[in-house]
Amino acid sequence: MQETDGAAAAVGGVPVAELARCYGTPLYAYDAEIIRQRCRDLAAWDTVRFAQKACSNLAVLNLVRQEGVVVDAVSAGEIHRALAAGYMPHAAPGNGEDGLPPVHPIVYTADIFDRDSLAAVASHGIHVNCGSADMLDQLAERMPGAAVTLRVNPGFGHGHSQKTNTGGEGSKHGIWHEDIPQVLQRAEWAGLMVSGLHMHIGSGSDLAHLAEVAGAVERIAADVGRSLTTISAGGGLPVPYRPDETHADLGGYFQLWDATRKRLEDRFGHRIRLEIEPGRYLTAEAGSLVTEVRATKRMGSKRYVLVDAGFNTLARPVLYGSYHPIRVVAADGRPAAGEPQAVVVGGPLCESGDIFTQEEGGFVTSRPLPPAAVGDFLVLDVAGAYGFVMASNYNSKPLPAEVLVDGGQHRLVRARQTSDDLIRGETV
């Protein structure tokens, strides 16, 4: 349902039409206050580690850093971003006053080291979360005696799509749970100390499935023994995308992990740091993709609204059949009025899959929206996670601009690419 107040035509209190006028479209706008609030929602956890792959703009990293949130990096590029946003490469030595082990400001999590990431990890002394046993030997050669975390595949997974399921035999992620004893042996031979255990079974999972992970971590912790000082619940916290969806019970989820942590502390006789590693949860709801309507037409019985953003700008619908709420804002900046009518919303790409209103499997659906004409704006909401970061230059379209809205002010945090950016590095 369309609200009639100004909020329906704004992002973080700034009118959509003003953002479009200042920065052009398509445009990603992030509401800083929502990101801060989501960070604070998770204050019960010892460590909130942002899976930056969800939204890695430097301004967003800087914002979560100011909230005391640390980061995960999955590539040399993400390590570079974290450092550029002001994160220290590694923990200060020694334990905190609370007896907890030091927190690693940046952790590299992956199933491989490509040569760039191994070089970046070694040169900055970044802590590594290993998803394959081969990484242990490669790391030991470059960082003898390092402490490491093992990412475990517990043998089951869950996700909003098969593509976001990251556990079980069908997933490439992590070290197979049954192999942990021999991998621990291999770490010892390599001279590495296993200080952390991590599991991440999928994105957009329901909490009942995520909760099973705590039991698996506890069982494997017994094999690791007293060198264990940190456990990570991974990410995957769901966010509401559809109007009928609500926020999950995070309090209950924390309690369950906290109880697991306390049993491990009793067993080992020392404190255990408890981490959570959300991506989507921190930024999804804060982000809106502002587009302009460039054409409307009919194809037989179907009405189409075509905007200036496509799956080059927001790939989730074409990749996963994901649903994004859509608002219509009139060209004059007011929320659109008028009887909703069913429309298919698509983009500019030369590809029939370039449709925002589709379900998994590519089935085109329509959405009841107030009438929109050329020059009006369509705002795709809950687009702050896996939005800009998955944008591409397909069809030689520039990457869109990114803007941070904070306290009624707005500023450009990434300029739209230019035509010259598109051909940089190429030669005839």
Q: From the list 148, 214, 237, 404, which residue makes contact with ligand PLP (rule: CB under 6 A)?
A: 237
> Cβ 203 to ligand PLP, closest distance in Å?
3
Contacting ligand PLP within 369-388 (CB under 6 A): 385
Q: Is 406 in the site for ligand PLP (CB under 6 A)?
A: no
Comparing CB distances to ligand PLP, the nearer of 30 and 281 is: 281
Nearer to ligand PLP, 131 or 335 (CB): 131
Strands (E), 177-333: 193-198, 230-232, 273-276, 287-299, 302-307, 326-329
Number of residues binding to ligand PLP, judged by CB under 6 A = 18
Residues in the chain, overall count: 428
Q: Report how far residue 121's alpha carbon sits from residue 106's, in angstroms, rounded to the nearest whole number.
A: 10
- Binding of residue 157 to ligand PLP (CB under 6 A): no
Determine the Cα–Cα distance for residues 213 and 309; give it in Å rounded to an integer. 38
Residue 118 interacting with ligand PLP (CB under 6 A): no
- 3-class DSSP state for residue 345? strand
Binding to ligand PLP (CB under 6 A) within 239-278 occurs at: 277-278
Per rule CB under 6 A, is residue 203 in the interface with ligand PLP? yes
3-state secondary structure of 256: helix
The alpha helices in 76-133, defined as continuous H runs, are: 76-84, 115-124
Where would I find the beta strands (DSSP E) of 184-286?
193-198, 230-232, 273-276
- Rounded Cα distance, 72 and 128, in Å: 10
Q: Which one-letter DSSP state was computed for residue 160?
A: S
Rg for the chain, CA atoms, rounded: 23
Of 25 and 52, the one with the shorter C-beta distance to ligand PLP is 52
Sole binder of ligand PLP in the list 101, 167, 234, 335 (CB under 6 A): 234
Name the residue nearer to ligand PLP (CB basis): 237 or 405: 237
Contact call for residue 113 and ligand PLP (CB under 6 A)? no
Residue 63 is encoded by which pair of tokens? 């914002």
Distance CA 180, CA 260 (A): 19
Nearest alpha-carbon partner for 157 in 223, 212, 231: 212
Binder of ligand PLP out of 109, 138, 229, 322 (CB under 6 A)? 109
Residue 56 found at the interface with ligand PLP (CB under 6 A): no
- Contact between 78 and ligand PLP by CB under 6 A: the answer reads no
**Listed residue (245, 321, 290, 307) closest to 388, CA to CA:** 290
Rounded distance between C-alpha atoms, residue 381 and residue 375, angstroms: 19
User: Which residue's CB is nearer to ligand PLP, number 280 or number 327?
Assistant: 280
- Among the candidate windows 47-55, 84-92, 362-370, 392-400, which touches ligand PLP by CB under 6 A? 47-55
Residue (129 or 291) nearer to ligand PLP, CB: 129
> 217 or 237, CB closer to ligand PLP?
237
Asked if residues 198 and 128 have their Cβ atoms less than 8 Å apart, the reply is no
Does position 171 bind ligand PLP by CB under 6 A?
no
Binding segment for ligand PLP (CB under 6 A), chosen from 98-106, 134-142, 197-205, 210-218, is 197-205
Residues near 335 by beta carbon (within 8 Å), at least 6 away in sequence? 2, 3, 4, 5, 6, 8, 9, 327, 328, 329
Q: What are phi and psi of 181, to 5 degrees?
A: -55, -45
149 binds ligand PLP (CB under 6 A): no
Q: Identify residue 42 by its one-letter amino acid code.
A: L
Using rule CB under 6 A, residue 357 touches ligand PLP: no
> Is residue 55 among the annotated active site residues?
no
Q: Are 257 and 274 spatial neighbours (Cβ–Cβ below 8 Å)?
A: yes
Q: How far is the CB of 279 from ligand PLP (least distance, A)?
A: 3
Binding to ligand PLP (CB under 6 A): which residues in 275-294? 277-281
Nearer to ligand PLP, 78 or 376 (CB): 78
Residue 71 as a binder of ligand PLP (CB under 6 A): the answer is no
User: What is the spatial distance between Cα 384 and Cα 376, in angstroms, rounded to a whole number?
Assistant: 22
Contact residue for ligand PLP among 38, 53, 127, 158 (CB under 6 A)? 53
The distance of closest approach from Cβ of residue 364 to ligand PLP in the complex, given in angstroms and rounded to an integer, is 26
Catalogue the active-site residues.
350
Sites of contact with ligand PLP (CB under 6 A): 51, 53-54, 72, 109, 200, 203-204, 234-237, 277-281, 385
